[in-house]
Every structure is written in structure tokens, then in C-alpha cells.
């Protein structure tokens, strides 16, 4: 028996999220916004069984991702016997699932950590407050932005979508997206999300205006009860401190109020980009959500 894969559709969001809600460990890759918005770039597809929902990319090469669902409720030996095509190389496998397979299959499986795919996890209080010596440079840039510009923060809504799309177009011109395949794919994903803003569950964002012109925006999504994942963050670097301001003000807003459950901010992986890695490390992650490459030995 083979899995029957189909293209990822926005209409499938409720079903997908019902499977994701059963996952004991949720990394950024498996948020609905990520899966749906990057589907074209990776030629992602999904397939559903009674117990799990599987993801498969076909570009640049066919690879299976982790299944979404309650991993602990599955008889894995019987499951892989039922779907033998899955006994291959799988990528982006969250650590608890990789360890579960390692324990269950012993020397018949090899698991290898993939540092480029580790999610960066931050304490939301740290990012909102930027307190202490380790955040001195970030705090200084934030203060400079506040001092130098006539700014205001706005919650992202459908009323700001056109402005964000226009800013994204300009950002792509500055960064020459057409000559960088990764940036071109990211731009496509951003445009897809912004263009369907009111149809996506759990999406949220913020923007910074200077003299009523949008100079930065960020897009996030509730990943779990206590975690928010930030998918996209863009700013016009002609405004000194714009990224530090956008980051801090958005986290401050989404964590404001008594009893707010957001404790962690997931800022996704660095994909091995050294500049991006330094930027993410400069915010002092509290932890990493490790992911593995898993190879079954047939």
C-alpha cells in the first residue's frame, strides 16, 4: 500500500491543524503557514492516514518530512510495514520523534543532527524587555530608532496588506530577489500569505510607520499554546534600528496583558547562512529545537 499525496491547499487548514494539535513537539517547519506558503518552492504535498498526516517535498529532490500527529500512539513497526516507501531517508525530523525511532529500531536506523535546521527558541520576556548587559547594543539601537523617527506601531490587519506588499516589492528590489533563488521563493511565500491574510487561522503581525509610511513589518503565527513563531520580518535599513524596533515592539504587543500564555518566541532556523546565524545568536536563544536527518537501513 502506498500513500496518496495531493497538493497542499488552504482549504485543508482545519484538518491539518487538527493533526498538528496532537503533535507533542511542534517545530516551525510544521506550522500551517510554513507548509502552505512554501509549498510551491519545495513542491510540497501531503497524504493522510487514519493516524498521521505526512509531508513530502519533490524539489530539489524527493524527501519525506516528519509526520504530523500523535507519534506516541503509533505502532511504528506495523506502520512502516504497511507503508514501506517511508523506510528511506527522512529530513527535518524533530528530536523526540528521531529518538523514538532510534529506540524502536536500534541499529536499523541512523539519526544525524542537522544544525542548519535547528529552530531558535527565545524567552519572550527577554525579547520584549531587552534587559541586561547582553542586550545593550540591541537596546541602544531601539532607543535611537525611537528618538530619531516620528514612528508608530500598528497591528497588521487587512488594512495594511497593500502597504506591506508594496514595501516587500521595494525590499526585493533593494536585495535583488530575482538573482537569489532563496529570496525569490521567500518573496513568493510572503506575497501568498499577505494576499490571503483574512483566510489564515492564527496569523498575526505588526508594522512600523515613520511619518505614516510603512518601514517594517513582521508576520507570526501561534504555533502552540505558549509559543509564537515569527515567519517573516522585513525592514528598511535606511532607518537605523528598524529591525531591533520591529522585533521588540511586536513581541511586546503579543505578550502584553495579564495571563498572556505566550512564553516562547520561535524564530525558525538559519539554514546554514552564517550571517543569519550570527544575527539569531546575537539575541541569545534560550534553547534550540533540534531536528535530525533519519536514514532507515533496509
Amino acid 158: pLDDT: 81
Amino acid 1: pLDDT: 66
Amino acid 157: pLDDT: 86
Q: Which residue has the cell 516587500?
A: 168
> Which residue blocks in 149-220 are alpha helix, DSSP H?
161-175, 181-195
Q: Are strands 227-235 and 264-266 parallel, antiparallel or unpaired?
A: parallel
Task: Map residue 45 onto helix, strand or coil.
Answer: strand
Q: Are strands 203-210 and 45-48 parallel, antiparallel or unpaired?
A: unpaired
pTM of the model: 0.95
Encode the chain (298 residues) as per-residue pLDDT tens digits: 689 999 999 999 999 999 999 999 999 999 999 999 999 999 999 999 989 999 999 999 999 999 999 999 999 999 999 999 999 999 999 999 999 999 999 999 999 999 999 999 999 999 999 999 999 999 999 999 999 999 999 999 888 999 999 999 999 998 899 899 999 999 999 999 999 999 999 999 999 999 999 999 999 999 999 999 999 999 999 999 999 999 999 999 999 877 778 999 999 999 999 999 999 999 999 999 999 999 998 7
Amino acid 256: pLDDT: 84
| Residues 6+ away with beta carbon under 8 Å from 53 | 15, 16, 19, 46, 47, 67, 68, 69
Amino acid 169: pLDDT: 95
* C-alpha–C-alpha distance, residues 251 and 231, integer Å: 13
Amino acid 69: pLDDT: 98
Q: Which residue has the cell 517547519?
A: 29
Amino acid at each position: 500500500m502506498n500513500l496518496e499525496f495531493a497538493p497542499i491547499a488552504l482549504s485543508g487548514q482545519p484538518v491539518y491543524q487538527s493533526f498538528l494539535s496532537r503533535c507533542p513537539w511542534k517545530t516551525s517547519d510544521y506550522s500551517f503557514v510554513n507548509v502552505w506558503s512554501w509549498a510551491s518552492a519545495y513542491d510540497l504535498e501531503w497524504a493522510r492516514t487514519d493516524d498521521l498526516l505526512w509531508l513530502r517535498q519533490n524539489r530539489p529532490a524527493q524527501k519525506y518530512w516528519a509526520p504530523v500527529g500523535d507519534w506516541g500512539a503509533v505502532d511504528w513497526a506495523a506502520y512502516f510495514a504497511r507503508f514501506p516507501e517511508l523506510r528511506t531517508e527522512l529530513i527535518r525530523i524533530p528530536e523526540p520523534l528521531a529518538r523514538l525511532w532510534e529506540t524502536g529500531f536500534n541499529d536499523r536506523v541512523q539519526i544525524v543532527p542537522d544544525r542548519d535546521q535547528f529552530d531558535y527558541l527565545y524567552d519572550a520576556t527577554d525579547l520584549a524587555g531587552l534587559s541586561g548587559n547582553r542586550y545593550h547594543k540591541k537596546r541602544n539601537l531601539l532607543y535611537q530608532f525611537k528618538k530619531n523617527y516620528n514612528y508608530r506601531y500598528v497591528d497588521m490587519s487587512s488594512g495594511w496588506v497593500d502597504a506591506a506588499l508594496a514595501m516587500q516589492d521595494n525590499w526585493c528590489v533593494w536585495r535583488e530577489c530575482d538573482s537569489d533563488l532563496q529570496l525569490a521563493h521567500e518573496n513568493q511565500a510572503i506575497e501568498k500569505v499577505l494576499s490571503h491574510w483574512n483566510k489564515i487561522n492564527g496569523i498575526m503581525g505588526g508594522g512600523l510607520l515613520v511619518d505614516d509610511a510603512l518601514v517594517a513589518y513582521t508576520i507570526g503565527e501561534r504555533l502552540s499554546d505558549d509559543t509564537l513563531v515569527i515567519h517573516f520580518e522585513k525592514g528598511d535599513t535606511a532607518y537605523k534600528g528598524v529591525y531591533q524596533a520591529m522585533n521588540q515592539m511586536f513581541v511586546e504587543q503579543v505578550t502584553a496583558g495579564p495571563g498572556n500564555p505566550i512564553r516562547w518566541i520561535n524564530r525558525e532556523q538559519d539554514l546554514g547562512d552564517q550571517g543569519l546565524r550570527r544575527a539569531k545568536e546575537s539575541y541569545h536563544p534560550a534553547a534550540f529545537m533540534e531536528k535530525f536527518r533519519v536514514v532507515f537501513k533496509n
